[in-house]
Amino acid sequence: MKQVIEIEKPSALRIAWDEAKDYPVIVHRDWTAKRTRSRSATERRRSETLKHHPLYWDAKKRGDYIAAQEVVDDLISNDALFRIADKIGDKQPLIVSPSLTKNDPTNVIPTSFAHSIAYELDVQVCRDIYQRDKAHRTGRGGFYRLAFSPEFYGQVIEGQDYIIVDDVATMGGTLAAMRSFIESNGGNVLCMSVLADSNMKSRTGQASLSRDFNLNAAADDIKLVEQKHGKRLDQFFRRHNGYGLDSLTAREIDFVHFFEREHHIERAILEEKRAAYAQKPDKRANDNIPHPPQITQRTSAL
């Protein structure tokens, strides 16, 4: 008999990646397109991207469900749907999106995206997991994203398969945080999907037959960061974020590996935290600043 585990307070933690599996992110479209010499060619390519869709910002900032559905209908990819179907096989996963807060939905594209995928693949949408508050990650740099991880709360069905969907992937922190919430409470994430990837190779003019990527960092890449920065950086993340390098995404690992000195990374993350904590308390409450993890579980049989 399946059990529902209700998390009464949001979790600020991530968990380490399961080394026995990969976490593929299936991508439907480009975020944007590189400018070319031909204006008409540039406009044609950009018309097929999320950033340049004429209704994107209405859906993103104003919570316009009609605009969001039109954006999704125009950009959802049949090829990507087939790849998701391959991951599903004969399972019956729930489609879950991380954008909704329980009281104040604004960016409704992930919700429309989740319902469209569920409709096309004949599965159900999960309506029991919520993002704690607005993450305010749009336009933020890498250090802010490393400093603050989105928090989730709600109900996870033990033993249930899930597919996480979102509108845009950047460093993958939101997807990683939601995957951690689900799997640390008894669920299983089959794969993830995003309408657009803001880190696409096409942004630098490099073509790719497949837009998909693995979210989890490879063990060898984590070792390279440890060799470069020692154990100090892992200890820093555990002390200030509640999780170590083994919970970072592949793109987050690439980001910290780029810097030569670990103290530069630590100082930049702490500056982001100090700036956020210096805000007024009522504004802080909406900026998704992590609280010390206090998780209470109540288990009940279905």
Residue ranges per domain, the chain? 3-215
Residue 94 CB neighbours (<10 A): 23
**Please, are residues 272 and 236 in contact by the beta-carbon 8 Å criterion?**
no
CATH number of this structure's domain 3-215: 3.40.50
Residue 173 carries which side chain, given as an amino acid letter?
G
In this model, does residue 295 exceed pLDDT 60?
no
pLDDT at 177: 95
| The residue to which tokens 């993103």 are assigned | 60
Could you tell me which residues come within 8 angstroms of residue 276 by beta carbon, excluding any fewer than 6 positions away?
Answer: 147, 148, 284, 287, 289
Residues in the chain, total: 302
Q: Strand pairing partners for 188?
A: 161
Average pLDDT, the chain: 82
- Write the CA distances from 296 to 7, 154, 258, 293, 299, integer angstroms: 6, 11, 38, 10, 10
pTM, 2 dp: 0.83
pLDDT for position 253: 96
Whole-angstrom distance, CA of residue 280 vs CA of residue 275: 11
pLDDT band at 285 (very low <50, low <70, confident <90, very high): very low
What is the C-alpha separation between 127 and 115, in angstroms, rounded? 11
As given in the structure block, the two tokens for residue 293 are 């993890």
Name the band, by pLDDT with cuts 50, 70 and 90, for residue 140.
confident
The pLDDT tens digits for 151-164 are 899 999 999 999 99
Quote the CA–CA distance of 219 and 224 in Å, as a whole number. Answer: 9
- Per 3-state DSSP, the chain is made up of helix, strand and coil in percentages (nearest 5) of 40, 20, 40
- Per-residue pLDDT of 13-66, as tens digits, reads 799 999 889 999 999 988 886 655 565 655 656 667 888 888 988 888 888 899
Q: Of 72-86, 205-219, 241-255, where does mean pLDDT reach its minimum?
A: 205-219
Q: Which of 37-41, 46-50, 104-108, 296-300 has the lowest mean pLDDT?
A: 296-300
pLDDT of residue 293 exceeding 50, the answer is: no
